[in-house]
Amino acid sequence: MADPNVRPAYVDFDGYRLSKAFDKELLQSALNYKPTADDIFVVTYPKCGTTWTQHIAFLIYNGGRRPKDALELLRDSPFLEMLGAESMTTMKRPGMAKSHFPFSMMPYSPEAKYIYVCRNPKDCCVSFFYHTKGFSGYEFTNGTFETFFDIFYAGETDFGDYFDHVLSWYEHRDDPNILFLHYEDMKHDPKEQV
C-alpha cells in the first residue's frame, strides 16, 4: 500500500546525494579520473535517455551489431560513478562511458568528447519515480508519486537538482567537444540527431 510518509533512502557523499548502491571509494576515484583524448562520455541527468544513447553509440561502434546482453553494454560503456576510474582503463576502445555528473563535477578534458542528453522534466520525473520505486535499495517501493514529485522539484533526488544539472551542461553546449542533444528531438528524428 502506498505510504505518503515514505521517502527514498539516500546516502550523502560530501553533499552529493546518491542511492546506497554507490561506493564512496569508487565515486572518489571517478571524480579523480583524468580523461584522455579517446574518451567519450554519455552524460545525462538520470532517466533522460542514457541507456538509449549508449545503445545507439554501441551500434555505431560495432557496425550495427547489438550487444549480446546487458553485461556487454555495461562492460563496453561503464557507469563511471558506479564502477570508478578503473573501469575506464578496462573498457573496450573505441567506446564510451556513462555518467550522471553535473558539469562542475565531471572529469573534464578539452580533448575528450561529451554527449549530453536532456529530456522534458515532466517525463524525466515520472520515469525517475518508477526507477526509484523499482530498486529496493531506495527503500521506496511503497512511496507515492506525490512524495517523489516534491523531492524531485526541490532538487533532493540523487544526482541533485534536475534544472541545475541541465543548465550546467547547457552553458557548454557550444563547446567544440560537447554535443548537446534533446531526448524529444532524438525520438522525433533520430537520423538527423545522430
pLDDT of residue 192: 84
Active-site residue, 100 included: yes
Euclidean distance between CA atoms 38 and 21, whole angstroms: 29
Catalytic member of 100, 165, 172, 188: 100
pLDDT higher than 80, residue 44: yes
CATH number at residue 163: 3.40.50.300
Is 44 in contact with 96 (CB distance < 8 Å)?
no
Preceding omega of 35 cis (within 30 degrees of 0): no
Write the DSSP string, 4-56. TT-----EEETTEEE-TT--HHHHHHHHH----TT-EEEEESTTSSHHHHHHH
**Which domain covers residue 158, as residue numbers?**
23-187
Q: Is residue 37 part of a domain?
A: yes
Euclidean distance between CA atoms 100 and 31, whole angstroms: 12
Q: Is residue 16 part of a domain?
A: no
pLDDT of residue 103: 98
Residues pairing with 99 in the sheet: 43
**Which grid coordinates are listed for 170?**
547547457
pLDDT of residue 134: 95
Q: Is residue 1 part of a domain?
A: no
Is 98 in contact with 42 (CB distance < 8 Å)?
yes
pLDDT higher than 90, residue 40: yes
Q: Is residue 12 part of a domain?
A: no
Q: Is residue 145 part of a domain?
A: yes
Q: Is residue 99 part of a domain?
A: yes
> Taking the model in full, what pTM does it have?
0.93
pLDDT higher than 90, residue 61: no
Compute, in degrees rounded to 10, the torsion defined by CA atoms 105, 176, 52, 84: -30
**Which grid coordinates are listed for 99?**
555518467
pLDDT higher than 80, residue 1: no
The alpha-helical segments, DSSP class H, found in 77-182 are 80-83, 86-90, 121-134, 145-153, 162-170
pLDDT tens for each residue of 97-146: 999 999 999 999 999 999 999 999 999 999 999 999 999 999 999 999 99
* CB neighbour list of residue 67: distance below 8 Å, 6 or more residues apart: 55, 58, 73, 76
Euclidean distance between CA atoms 132 and 57, whole angstroms: 26
pLDDT of residue 95: 73
pLDDT of residue 16: 87
pLDDT tens for each residue of 137-167: 999 999 999 999 999 999 999 999 999 999 9
Domain count, the chain: 1
pLDDT tens for each residue of 160-194: 999 999 999 999 999 999 999 999 988 988 778 77
Please count the other Cβ atoms lying within 10 Å of the Cβ belonging to residue 57.
Answer: 21
Q: Is residue 4 part of a domain?
A: no
Mean pLDDT of 6-18: 90
Split at pLDDT 50, 70, 90, the class of 58 is confident
pLDDT of residue 15: 84
Q: Is residue 11 part of a domain?
A: no
